[in-house]
Amino acid sequence: MKKFRLVLSLILAFLAVFTLVGCKESTNPSGDFGITLEEIIANAKKLSYSDQGQGQQQVTGTPNFNVPEGGYDGSAVTIKFYHTMGKNLVTVLDKYIKKFNEIYPNITVDQKQIGNYDGVRDQISTELPAGNEPNIAYCYPDHVALYNLTGKVVHLDNLINSTIADDARNGGQIGLTAAQKADFIKGYYEEGSQFGDGLMYTMPFSKSTEVLYYNETFFTANSIPVPTHWFNESEDDTTSLEAVCKKIKELKPDCIPLGYDSEANWFITMAEQCGADYTSATGDHYLFSNPTMKTLMAKFREWYQLGYITTQKLYGSYTSGLFVADENDSSTTNSYMSIGSSAGATHQRPEKVTVTKEDGTESSEYPFVVGIASIPQMSTTYQRVISQGPSVCIFNKSNPQEVVASWLLVKYLTTSTIFQAEFSSVSGYVPVLHSVAQNEQYAKMIAKADGTTNIAYLSAKVCLEQADFYYTSPAFNGSSVARDQVGALLTTILSKEADNAVKMINDAFQDAIDECEYQG
């Protein structure tokens, strides 16, 4: 009997070890979280643009600004504008401020560059309690949620909808016309009202998104299609990112086929494309610990283990460094695809190299041509890409003329096709107006788009072509914490060694939720 018990104990111990090893080596824990990858794909294909899947926030801020009777009365006012523009963009801004002053000579614009976006946020956060904040500021939704704890962000609706005559504009009006409203790219414009009370807090200034950069020369030489969706949907699927990564890895075993710069964007975009919960600005804020996202993260962990992907944190730098690396240099690793900011296109272009021709002459050429496409999608009928880049908000002041004057400048810069065209051509950001595409100079610029010298124009062209796909996440005090945590969460799941991958993933999600609730 003792011998039987000993044998039984040994068998049970062996089975326990086998189970742990099996979990460690399993490359596809999908399905262990209550939903399979196949079900996620099927659900995503059923989505329509009316399915948003993310909560909104009820906020309390400055009561909707009441436009003074008569609008701007022509009094002398000075308005401060905080931004992050470098010298080249300030040159463009100053040029159009002068044009603005031809219309409104008594409005003095004191524009000031304040470091980066976080620098603007931090500066204003220290000034708000003392009432020294600017009139206008570059902002992201998270910043507005923070500023609005003081209730000083102006609701723009009465300004936008005002039909009060603007005498300085020869019969124009203070507010936006129906045509001006319709000219805004919808996803950019709607970002301003994502705070849940139906009111507008921001106007879009210039935007960027994420795009897929790929080595067009390599793809063409090896008959590799540009991927349009994430996962294999059949055994002979060649157009998924999964299939493309596998093909590249077979051709170039030492490479990492894809680098993705922003872990947070990747996580949030997958939630959006799948219609899965990410955050809500009412009730329980942090909703990303759900079966769909756990299954997706398990699948991407499999990709990482196969050597298909890396990210900025895992690589230790922007993954454009991998993308532009010399594929013939055995001392370095390279990639053939990169997902990164559309505004950073020139960083995804390799340096020119000296090429000796057959006749012995030398020339300086790019080692490969860069292709740019929309990022892969989960559905062809519900395509989503993230909206990034600055908007502008206005702060309330005791003198309502300052608020109206601030609005007039914001309106001028955001609805001017000429300004938007020139600013975008210099900045690499995307204009926020449909009409810019028909601007003669901008159209000529876009017509020059290519994957070498004019790569920034090619990036802008792709962004304009996907104008209907943009989304933004709910903004609330704590939404930036969620963004940080899901980025760290993805990094952990991809790279952490684990005897039990399913348990590790569940624990990682719970840790991220706990940290959000603690910090938020």
pLDDT tens digits, 324-357: 999 988 889 999 999 999 999 999 999 999 888 7
**Which of 325, 369, 372 has its CA nearest to residue 345?**
372
Q: What is the pLDDT of residue 14?
A: 38
Report domain extents, the chain. Answer: 77-208+389-455, 210-385+478-519
Given the structure tokens 């040994």, which residue do they identify? 10
Q: Does domain 77-208+389-455 have CATH number 3.40.190.10?
A: yes
Q: How confident is the model at residue 363 (pLDDT cuts 50, 70, 90)?
A: confident
* 353: three-class secondary structure by DSSP: strand
Q: Is the pLDDT higher at 46 or at 167?
A: 46
Parallel, antiparallel or unpaired: strands 203-204 and 391-394 = antiparallel
pLDDT of residue 51: 64
Bridge-based pairing state of the strands 470-471 and 210-215: unpaired
Burial class (CB in 10 A: 0-12, 13-18, 19+), 164: middle
Crossing angle (nearest 10°) for helices 37-45 and 263-274:
60
Identify which has the larger pLDDT, 148 or 482. 482
pLDDT, average across residues 348-372: 90
Task: Write out pLDDT tens, residues 54-107.
Answer: 333 344 445 579 999 989 999 999 999 999 999 999 999 999 999 999 999 999
CA distances 327 to 10, 320, 333, 350, Å, are: 51, 13, 7, 11
E strand or H helix that includes residue 354: strand 353-356
pLDDT given for residue 2 in this prediction: 38
Looking up tokens 């956060």 gives 125
**3-class secondary-structure state, position 53:** coil
CB 364 within 8 A of CB 354: yes
- Residue 48, CA distances (Å) to 33, 187, 382, 385, 448 in order: 25, 15, 6, 15, 35
**How far apart, in Å, do the first and last CA atoms of the chain sit?**
59
pLDDT digits (tens, 9 = 90+) for 20-69: 333 344 445 556 899 999 999 999 999 987 665 433 334 444 557 999 99
pLDDT in the model for residue 310: 98
The whole-angstrom separation of Cα 106 and Cα 91 is 21
- Alpha helix (H) residue ranges in 355-478: 400-415, 417-427, 440-447, 455-465
Q: What is the 3-state secondary structure (H, E, C) of 132-193?
A: CCCCEEEECHHHHHHHHHHCCECCCHHHHHCCCEEHHHCCEECCCCHHHHHHECHHHHHHHH
Q: Is the pLDDT of residue 385 over 60?
A: yes
Q: How many other C-beta atoms lie within 10 A of the C-beta of residue 193? A: 17
Q: What is the mean pLDDT of residues 376-399?
A: 96
Name every residue whose Cβ is closer than 8 Å to that of residue 22 and which is 6 or more positions away in sequence.
Answer: none
Q: How far is CA 232 from CA 38, 70, 272, 373, 381, in A?
A: 10, 62, 19, 19, 18
CA distance linking residue 225 with residue 215, whole number of Å: 11
- Better-scored residue on pLDDT, 52 or 124: 124
**Into which CATH architecture does domain 210-385+478-519 fall?**
3-Layer(aba) Sandwich (3.40)
Same fold, 77-208+389-455 and 210-385+478-519: yes
